[in-house]
Chain A
Amino acid sequence: MCLAIPMQLIERSEWDGTAELRGVQRQVSLMLCPEAQVGEYVLVHAGYAITTVDVEEARKTLELLDEIVREDIPE
């Protein structure tokens, strides 16, 4: 029900920031995610950063996917 995509926070003031993904930028509000640091990825929904993306957790999920791909290689 809710379209949201991860974008990198490239600058911020108190409540506002600029988020970027693949060369596209938009002003986002950081009111829901005040802890976001410049350089971090944030999940953007309707012009608001709604959380930070945990890179370590993303890596773990990708490793899990890798493992599944390796298991799938036919004998």
Chain B
Amino acid sequence: MKRSDTLLLAHGSGGRLTHELVRQVFLPAFDNPYLRTLSDSAVLSELPQGRPALTTDAFVVDPPIFPGGDLGYLSVCGTVNDLAVAGARPLWLTWALVLEEGLDGDLLHTVVEGAARACREAGVTLVAGDTKVVPRGKGDRAFAITSGLGVVPVGRDLGDHRVQTGDDIVVSGPFGDHGATIMACRHGLSGSFLVSDCAPLNDLVETVMTCGAEIHAMHDPTRGGVATTCHEVAARAGVRCVLEEVSLPVRSETLTTCELLGLDPLYLACEGRVLMWVAPDDTERLLKTLHSHPLGRDAARIGRTEPPKGGQASVLLRTAIGGERPVDLLSGSELPRIC
């Protein structure tokens, strides 16, 4: 399967073309001793001490290649990040692709290379995989399904059960860049700084976990963005998340895209940002650590948790002009609007 080839149904039949695909495309990209055996299961080495963490995710994105990433890179980052924000050190991944007959070889190679690059950046090993090919019209080019296994080191405990009233809310960088970039691609907007924030966060998380700050919970605000993540934490932790509009780090290109298409950056997906709930005394230390990391240079404190108020919104935005507005859960998907 060369870049110039077109994917055929036979590539998924298990026959000669399938073998060719594995040997020419997948093995060279991800080569490691587990994968090389090509057996039914990857039999792994013993886990380091701690609690195993397991996650799975399915990835669909239109367009499959976008500024700052591609479906493959995104699928590995997404899974690595889900493990990382649970406090786990990601170790092994599995990767399954559902491909549409007629797929451009070039696109497949780009996606595979993207996934391999993300594995290298994150220091994880892709130990098992699968490919299926569906007839043309029965899928949208390529879907990826990724599972990841990691270990939460002994003594580490992150989760919404630890979030308290008075915690500061910190974000590792400007948010909404991924969502805005995808929307911009779909609706004819461009700009050299419209680049997805897609990145593996495990190194950043490891750095902050060892900086001594008392971090209670972390989340990566993917689908539904910062607003949705704050809602989920508020509901699980029984607190109210109050955000300050003036403190929200949003790139001007992302904000402009939102203004043009009628979107709200609070609801746009990030694929390389982490939200943290931290004991307020340690916020400065955390921010200092974040600022010294390449993925955390623009980290900011964006708000704090307050006691819940009966009958009031669980996420509130204090607006830049001194007003307030409840931030509700998103209904349906964010669609561009003209009104």
Q: Which residue of the partner chain B has the closest CB to A47? A: B188
Assess the B260–A26 pair: CB atoms within 8 A. yes
Interface status of A46 (Cβ within 8 A of chain B): yes
The answer to whether B252 touches A22, judged by C-beta atoms less than 8 angstroms apart, is: yes
Q: When the two chains form the complex, which single residue of B188, B255, B259 contacts A27, counting CB atoms closer than 8 Å?
A: B188
**A5→B259 contact, CB < 8 A:** yes
Chain B residues 148 to 197 lying within 8 A of chain A, measured CB to CB, are 184, 188-194
User: Please, how many angstroms separate the alpha-carbon atoms of A27 and B184 in the complex?
Assistant: 12
A61 interface residue per 8 A CB criterion: no
Q: Point out the residues of chain A lying under 8 angstroms from B339, CB to CB.
A: 1-3
> Known: A22-B253, A23-B253, A24-B184. Contact between A5 and B191, CB under 8 A?
no
**Are B338's CB and A24's CB within 8 A?**
no
Identify which of residues 15-39 in chain B touch chain A, using a CB-to-CB cut-off of 8 Å: none
18 CB < 8 A contacts A-B: A1-B339, A3-B337, A22-B252, A22-B253, A22-B256, A23-B191, A23-B192, A23-B193, A23-B252, A23-B253, A24-B189, A24-B191, A24-B256, A25-B189, A25-B191, A26-B188, A26-B190, A26-B260
**Chain B residues near A (Cβ < 8 Å):** 184, 188-194, 252-253, 255-257, 259-260, 262, 337-339
A24 adjacent to B262 (CB under 8 Å):
no
A20 vs chain B, min Cβ distance (A) = 8
B190 touches which of A1, A2, A24, A45 (Cβ 8 Å): A24
The residue that A23 contacts in the complex, of B256, B259, B262, B338, with Cβ under 8 A, is: B256
Interface string of A46-72 (1 = CB under 8 A from B): 110000000000000000000000000
Contact A24 B188 (CB under 8 A): no
Task: Give chain A nearest CB distance to B338 CB in angstroms.
Answer: 5
User: A5, B193: Cβ atoms under 8 Å?
Assistant: no
Measured between beta carbons, the chain A residues less than 8 angstroms from B193 are: 23
Considering the complex, give the chain A residue whose CB is closest to the CB of B180: A24
- Supposing A24-B184, A27-B188 touch, asked if A46 and B253 sit within 8 A by C-beta, the answer is no
- Is A32 an interface residue when CB atoms closer than 8 A count as contact? no
Per-residue interface assignment for chain A, residues 2 to 15, with 1 indicating a CB less than 8 Å from any chain B CB and 0 otherwise: 11010000000000
Instruction: Classify chain A's interface size.
Output: 10 to 19
A26–B194 alpha-carbon span in the complex (Å): 13
B184 to chain A minimum Cβ distance, whole angstroms, is 7
Interface centre among B188, B259, B262 (most CB of A within 10 A): B259
Complex contact B184–A3 (CB within 8 A): no
Q: Are B260 and A5 in contact, with the CB atoms below 8 A? A: yes
User: Closest residue of chain B to A4, judged by CB?
Assistant: B338
A21 within 8 A of partner (CB): yes
Q: Known interface pairs A22-B252, A24-B260, A26-B260. Does A3 touch B189 (Cβ–Cβ under 8 Å)?
A: no
Q: Is the CB of A36 closer than 8 A to any CB of chain B?
A: no
- A44 in contact (CB, < 8 A): yes
- Taken together as a complex, chains A and B put the C-alpha atoms of A19 and B251 apart, in Å, by 19
Q: A3-B262, A24-B184 are in contact. Are A46 and B191 (CB under 8 A)?
A: no
In the bound complex, residues from chain B placing their C-beta under 8 Å from that of A45 are 338
